[in-house]
């Protein structure tokens, strides 16, 4: 993601179907973790800090970390504590955070095992990690290349990465299952001006289409589709005591 992409995303994410539902999923997991006020959380690759605002609403003391200075600037403007940091070498003391969130970050990092090891290092024993990544190399397209992705993950690969870092995987499920066929068709069909198409997907979704897509992904909340192939994988893990 480039600085301009962070600014574009921040401008629309509060109403964009993808980001709204991801934050709903984050809120669901925070309720599952029985968050208590005063607990400390950090987000890796926080962009403009939208997810951090959700965590703050649940009472967490949140630190946003972002590789690009534009994201740090935006997060601070939103009243968040934010620092520029590399996920492979976080400037944080070991065993100091109760929660770590990394949504759509690991796929950008060649040395993803180093980032996973940092997640383990920074978490307190008993602390939790919430991770989201793009799923399935069969969905690989020019969109991934333009987004700076190194890979997409399958279940076994993501589990091995996180377990290999010393974390214990508690849950792993697919997201955006119902829309996977449409996403696959969209990505294979867009061969002309793919960069413009990618930016359009975030910044210029028609309100009616936005409402339709949002309604479809919300259906997944009550359907047993988490084991089916989706567009993304979500994982919840913890650091053993």
pLDDT per residue over 45-103, tens digit each?
999 999 999 999 999 999 999 999 999 999 999 999 999 999 999 999 999 999 999 99
Structure tokens at 27: 């809120």
Question: pLDDT class for 177, splitting at 50, 70, 90?
Answer: very high
Confidence band of 6 (pLDDT split at 50, 70, 90): confident
Mean pLDDT score of the chain: 92
Domain coverage including residue 230:
3-238
What pLDDT does residue 182 have?
A: 92
pLDDT at 191 (0 to 100):
56
The rounded distance, in Å, linking the Cα atoms of 209 and 77 is: 30
DSSP line for the chain: --HHHHHHHHHHTTT-HHHHHHHHHHHHHHHHTT--TT-EEEEES-TTSHHHHHHHHTT-EEEEEESSHHHHHHHHHTT-EEEE-BTTB-SS-TT-EEEEEEES-GGG-TTHHHHHHHHHHHEEEEEEEEEEEEB-GGG--HHHHHTT-S--B-HHHHHHHHHHTT-EEEEEEEES-TTHHHHHHHHHH--SSHHHHHHHHHH---HHHHHHHHHHHHHGGGSS-TTS--SEEEEEEE---
Domain count, the chain: 1
Greater pLDDT, 2 or 158:
158
136-171 residue pLDDT tens: 999 999 889 888 999 999 999 999 999 999 999 999
Residue 187 has pLDDT above 80, yes or no: no
CATH number at residue 69: 3.40.50.150
**Distance between CA 163 and CA 238 in Å, rounded?**
10
d(CA 73, CA 84): 9
Average pLDDT over residues 208-237: 96
Which tokens is 77 given? Answer: 């403007």
Residue with tokens 């028609």: 206
Which helix (H) or strand (E) segment holds residue 126: the answer is strand 123-134
Token pair 């091995």 is found at: 160
Residue 117 has pLDDT above 70, yes or no: yes
Six token digits for residue 193: 């001006």
* Angstrom distance (rounded) from CA 164 to CA 126: 17
> Quick one: which of 90, 87, 122 has its CA closest to 106?
87
pTM comes to: 0.92
**How many whole angstroms separate alpha carbon 39 and alpha carbon 184?**
39
User: What are the Cα distances from residue 206, in Å, to 97, 169, 215, 218?
Assistant: 40, 38, 14, 18
The pLDDT of residue 34 is 83
């Amino acid at each position: 993601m480039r600085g301009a992409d962070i600014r574009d995303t921040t401008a629309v994410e509060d109403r964009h179907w993808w980001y709204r539902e991801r934050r709903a999923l984050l809120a669901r997991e925070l309720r599952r973790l029985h968050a208590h006020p005063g607990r400390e959380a950090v987000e890796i690759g926080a962009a403009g800090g939208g997810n951090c605002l959700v965590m703050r609403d649940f009472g967490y003391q949140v630190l946003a970390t972002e590789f690009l200075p534009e994201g740090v600037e935006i997060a601070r403007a939103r009243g968040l504590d934010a620092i520029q940091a590399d996920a492979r070498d976080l400037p944080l003391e070991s065993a100091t955070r109760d929660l770590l969130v990394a949504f759509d970050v690991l796929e950008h990092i060649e040395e993803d095992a180093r980032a996973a090891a940092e997640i383990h290092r920074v978490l307190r024993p008993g602390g939790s990690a919430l991770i989201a990544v793009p799923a399935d190399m069969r969905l690989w397209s020019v969109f991934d290349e333009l987004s700076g992705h190194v890979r997409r993950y399958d279940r076994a690969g993501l589990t091995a990465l996180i377990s290999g870092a010393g974390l214990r995987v508690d849950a792993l499920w697919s997201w955006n299952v119902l829309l996977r066929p449409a996403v696959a068709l969209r990505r294979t069909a867009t061969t002309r001006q793919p960069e413009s198409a990618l930016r359009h997907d975030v910044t210029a979704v028609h309100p009616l289409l936005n409402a339709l897509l949002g309604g479809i992904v919300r259906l997944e909340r009550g359907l047993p589709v988490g084991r089916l192939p989706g567009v993304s994988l979500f994982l919840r893990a913890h650091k053993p005591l």
